[in-house]
Amino acid sequence: MDIKPMISPERLEQDAELLQEWLAKQPHLPKVDDKKRLICFLHHNKYSLEKTKQKLENYYTLRNKYPEIFKNRDPHGQAVARARVSYNVCLAKGLSKDGGRIIYAQPNSDTSIYNITDFITYGTMVCDLFFLEHELHQYSANITDCAGLQYGHLVRSLPWMKAAVDIFLNCYVTRFKAFHMINVSPGLEIVFTAFKNFLPAKYVDRFYVHTSADSLLKVVDKELVCSEYGGTGPSLAELDQHTIKLVEKYKDWFIESGNISSNEQLRRKGENQVEEMKGSFRKLEVD
């Protein structure tokens, strides 16, 4: 599905230029020459300049806060290799009929090989693909195969759970619409409850437990549901290969991006993280 921006091309170009001008005035933030990348930020922030500036601020500032994640993103490195075995993340091919991006997650039942920093590292790389591929989707939805999910995953995740929420919700801009859980075994409620405690209230009601493939197919396009779950889409193994090839396509960028972050020594003292910009909030005319 080809997603069209909700504002005119002229406005979009103007807003991207305004963001470039704003970034140029922030001595602590890197410049962004790729206008299409900024347009992605605008789209996923509902074309609010003020919200987009805040996300850009977070995107570069949090890289300093979590160097364990952002300085370790070589597609051929051990963190990625371990993540793909212990708690893999992969993308469905294409978007849903209503413009949604489906993200699959599949934890391995062997919790001894699970490291949450590996999972977060690879997860951020997958999310960065949206910008690198200049993808304009309307929302994202996660499908987690809980067949291998164990209490041990929760125990090993707790030290980094707040950081994970901080990174994925405050640093990245995709709008999470739903978290679909399939192959859920009895007793996993404690894991879901614990995880929900770390989420903002608006996300808590977006968890859906599916007792059968039929219920999943009622809410997700059949062609985007992988063959293991009753859909007509590719298998998880095929989606894994599809995703890692996309990541490897941008190997140089991922390695170089480990050195791209805010420079806190250059931040002007006493200023708000995001300064005012006239006209940041504009009314959108949406059909």
**Cβ neighbours, 10 Å, residue 281:** 11
pLDDT at 4: 63
Tell me what the mean pLDDT of segment 219-227 comes to.
96
pLDDT at 158: 92
Report the run of H or E that residue 196 belongs to, with start and end.
Answer: helix 189-196
Tokens of 124: 């951020």
Characterize the bridge pairing of strands 100-107 and 87-91.
antiparallel
* Bigger pLDDT: 173 vs 260: 260
Please enumerate in sequence order all residues whose Cβ is within 8 A of that of 197, keeping only pairs 6 or more positions apart, or say none. Answer: none
For 3-20, how does the pLDDT look when each residue is reduced to its tens digit (9 = 90+)? 666 678 899 999 999 999
What is the side-by-side order of every strand in the sheet holding 139-145? 87-91, 100-107, 139-145, 176-182, 207-210
Q: Identify the weakest region by mean pLDDT among 30-34, 137-141, 276-280.
A: 276-280
Tell me what the mean pLDDT of segment 73-100 comes to.
97
> CA torsion sign, 247 to 251 to 253 to 254?
positive
Q: What percent of the chain has pLDDT over 90?
A: 76
For 43-81, how does the pLDDT look when each residue is reduced to its tens digit (9 = 90+)? 999 999 999 999 999 999 999 999 999 999 999 999 999
Q: What percent of the chain has pLDDT over 70?
A: 91
pLDDT at 279: 42
Tokens of 278: 């006239």
pLDDT at 271: 60
Alpha carbon distance 61, 273 (integer Å): 10
Characterize the bridge pairing of strands 100-107 and 139-145.
parallel
Alpha carbon distance 195, 165 (integer Å): 10
With CA atoms as reference, report the closest residue to 255 among 26, 77, 19, 135. Answer: 77
* Bigger pLDDT: 77 vs 282: 77
pLDDT at 97: 94
Tell me what the mean pLDDT of segment 129-135 comes to.
93
> CA torsion sign, 100 to 144 to 134 to 13?
positive
Q: 180 - beta bridge partners? A: 143, 208
At 2, the pLDDT band (50, 70, 90 cuts) reads: low
For 237-254, how does the pLDDT look when each residue is reduced to its tens digit (9 = 90+)? 999 999 999 999 999 999
Please enumerate in sequence order all residues whose Cβ is within 8 A of that of 123, keeping only pairs 6 or more positions apart, or say none. Answer: 83, 89, 168
